[in-house]
Amino acid sequence: MDNLEICRMTAMQLRKVIRARKLSPVEVVDAVLERIDRINPKINAYCTLVPESARAEAKKAERKVMKGESLGSLYGVPVSIKDLAFTKGIRTTGGSKMYENFVPDQDAVFVERLKAAGAIILGKTNTPEFGWIAVTTNPVFGVSRNPWNTEYTTGGSSGGAAAAVAACLGPIAQGSDGGGSIRIPSSFCGVYGLKPSFGRVPTSPGFPGLWEGLSVTGPITRTVSDAALMLEVMSGYDERDFYSIPQKAPHYLSAVRGEPNLKRMKIAWTKDMGYAIVDKQVARAIEAAAKVFEKLGCLVEEAHPDAGDPQAAFSTQVASAVAAQLYDELPEWGKQFDPGLAAYVERSKDILARDYVKARVKHLEYWAKIRVFFDKYDLLLTPVLAVPPFPVGIYSPSEINGQKVPPIAWMPFTYPFNITGQPAASVPCGYTEDGLPIGLQIIGRKYDEVNVLKASAAFERVKPWADKYPPLD
């Protein structure tokens, strides 16, 4: 078995061959690290690598396998952690000069759980500074590039994570999502990403909360089964996280085994949610994806919630949090921040408390309208994004279909479901004429990751994507 074959294996495949002693954890880690050495300079997915500790953990895992000891569900499987998450003994910068040399003395809860399941950490993946924008670049490590075309962005803020998985630099990656940051790069990089329900995966401890009440942690993988496995490991109550759902981790993996039955499931789909301008290639891909669910026996109709665009309330909350956490740092660190972030903090400093409270009230009103819609439908299908990947060097496209648009108009489908806290997946569903990926978003009822995973798995069986690879080799 050559290195490329090993690197293209899924987490489910790896754990099977490792347990059967057909492949050792050492061979797996060596193969992936060799590929990272060769490919990462082209795309800058990883910003910090820990090859020595990864190899040491692989040797420990190998000894345990050979002794026939009980193994965790991710035993010997390599994983990457986003550079916003605390990792004990591994440099964690948040993409900021403020924390360029910071090494946490503890792990985030989900990192503890991944380690306990036997996963082997390869390193940290690149992110914009504190995850503030939806493209991946920062003052410490620079820009990450899309494996499908390195002149294009990965999206963000989990851009390094999605690029790593797409380029086979590890089968699974942890991402976080405060306004689309798992789903956006998963869509742009042609991989599967799942934003779970708010509170499903405990995230503490970590950096000061710029995305308070919005951000979640979830898996980025090449297959739905790998995401279900990883989510199962990371989920479950922990009192260290104030928002943690008081529930044990559901058995997500069993939900996607076999052939999930979606017959009579009620599904709505929309190209625009009633307010978005959407690239024509994206719209066509989403309409085609909706027809796949009809063939799977679902009751599918075109519909969208009568809830409007919550962009103003969302933007007010985020801007308030960013200013509250970073404005006092401007005198010392402002010149070393990403220039766009520094400007954003400065112009957000005068948001009034009453405007913040009004935004929170709008969130509750928005949820009331969305909840009623999901009384009628099990799932909602939308584009992940209004546009295909765009070139590196810009924060957002200025036009869609020839129409001038504001900066946030390219991501109108992601942040609404951070407001509501619902689970939502990015599923590869097609490619542009230039061969760039397009993502379908599947949104479920609150706390219903199971049906999101089932629908994702059913679509994957009809329209598989994991055997398609970027032109890097």
| Active site residue ranges | 82, 157, 181
Of 470, 456, 300, the residue nearest 384 (C-alpha): 456
Phi, psi of 288 (to 5 degrees): -65, -40
Contacts of 124 (CB under 8 A, 6+ apart): 46, 47, 48, 80, 81, 82, 83, 87, 90, 91, 92, 93, 160
CA distances from 237 to 168, 203, 234, 261, 445 (A): 31, 11, 10, 29, 20
Of 199, 122, 191, the residue nearest 154 (C-alpha): 191
Phi, psi of 274 (to 5 degrees): 90, 0
Of 391, 390, 387, the residue nearest 400 (C-alpha): 387
3-state secondary structure 219-272: EEECCHHHHHHHHHHHCCCCCCCCCCCCCCCCCHHHHHCCCCCCCCCEEEECCC
Amino acid identity of residue 320, one-letter, is S
- Cβ(285)–Cβ(317) under 8 Å? no
